Amino acid sequence: MIAGNFKTYQLTILNTGHGELDLGDIVGTESEIRVNPGATNVRILFTPSTSTDVADIEDYLLPNDETIFEVGRGLSRLSFYNGSGGQVEISIAVLF
């Protein structure tokens, strides 16, 4: 059950670069993750916090507006890839 607590994050990623966000410090069995990439051609990959895989051009393409994901405890690391042609500011809100 999502309790109503939340944290916000901001990632800046250069073109053709990637960035990661580890949510392992969030306590709960499930989370609602809201991602707003602020640009087109940004991709996301959900993995366990122990993974070293990074997102690339083959991963899930985010729309240019807010996208909502509900995830369980096992997927606590987000990896983003920026293929937009410029620097992007990705806003992330995690409800738990």
Tally of CA atoms within 13 A in the half-sphere of 22 that contains its CB: 8
Q: In this predicted model, what pLDDT tens digit does every residue of 16-63 receive, in sequence order?
A: 999 999 998 887 888 999 999 989 999 999 999 999 999 999 999 999
Q: Are strands 42-47 and 77-82 parallel, antiparallel or unpaired?
A: antiparallel
| Fold adopted by 6-95 | Jelly Rolls (2.60.120)
Whole-model pTM over 0.85: yes
Task: Please state, in angstroms and rounded to a whole number, the distance separating the CA atoms of residues 93 and 14.
Answer: 21
pLDDT tens-digit map of 66-94: 999 999 889 999 999 999 999 999 999 99
Domain spans, the chain:
6-95
**CA neighbor of 64 nearest in space, from 94, 93, 88:** 88
Burial class (CB in 10 A: 0-12, 13-18, 19+), 80: buried
